[in-house]
Chain A
Amino acid sequence: AAGVIQSPRHLIKEKRETATLKCYPIPRHDTVYWYQQGPGQDPQFLISFYEKMQSDKGSIPDRFSAQQFSDYHSELNMSSLELGDSALYFCASSLRQGSNSPLHFGNGTRLTVT
């Protein structure tokens, strides 16, 4: 079965650079989520999109932005990178927003900021 695809798997950037992470949800899934997981931490919700519209926002820094495109793929744009942005970034998708929809996660993008 098709899974959530994230690219790249690994990314190394320097401070103050920008990064773009991509996510391709499971076909027919209409909701996409972005999470940030620091070392030894639980995943922190950043932002979600339902049918290409932002649906909820968590602890996403103003330096970050995201969008979902007409083909349902999503991109997380990160500017003015800081050392503290080094983390594992997950994209997840689900079918229909609702409290009974499990998230299906991609394998994540490991971002290292030096």
Chain B
Amino acid sequence: AQKITQTQPGMFVQEKEAVTLDCTYDTSDQSYGLFWYKQPSSGEMIFLIYQGSYDEQNATEGRYSLNFQKARKSANLVISASQLGDSAMYFCAISGGGGFKTIFGAGTRLFVKA
């Protein structure tokens, strides 16, 4: 079984600063994918970034980067130069193992202060 743990229910960050959202995972699969999704208060789920278990380089997408530490089973999301529009719920997720499902963590609510 796969599991995602997000230990930060809420985080505050000052506008224009960087913030790291923590994510640890548990899986017995050799091949898996790790994802981060953003859910604004409007409710939609927005895909942000993906990291494959065999990828040696950390994934980056614009202001988002994923700090992947495979031995520690962590996949932290780093948001650089925070903007007010980054205020949202952020979910870490994992898929793999030949199954057709993606499992989500409990989420971290990010508040960006002006």
A residues neighboring B (CB under 8 Å): 31, 33, 41-45, 48, 50, 55-56, 58, 88, 90, 92, 97-105, 107-108, 110
Contact = CB atoms under 8 A, between A and B. Distances in A.
A54 B93 CA distance: 21
B107 to A, nearest CB: 5
Interface in B76-114: 91, 95-97, 99-107
A50 B99 CA distance: 11
Contacts of A58: 101
B44 A105 contact: yes
B104 A99 contact: no
A-B pairs with lowest CB-CB distance, top 10: A99-B96, A55-B100, A105-B45, A56-B100, A99-B33, A48-B100, A42-B104, A45-B101, A102-B47, A99-B32
A108 B44 contact: yes
8 contacts: A33-B101, A43-B91, A44-B104, A99-B29, A102-B33, A103-B47, A107-B43, A108-B43
Given A42-B105, A43-B91, A102 B100 contact: no
Interface residues of B, number: 27
Contacts of B43: 88, 107-108, 110
Contacts of B104: 42-44
B21 to A, nearest CB: 14
Given A42-B106, A99-B32, A102-B47, A56 B91 contact: no
A97 B101 CA distance: 9
Contacts of B37: 105
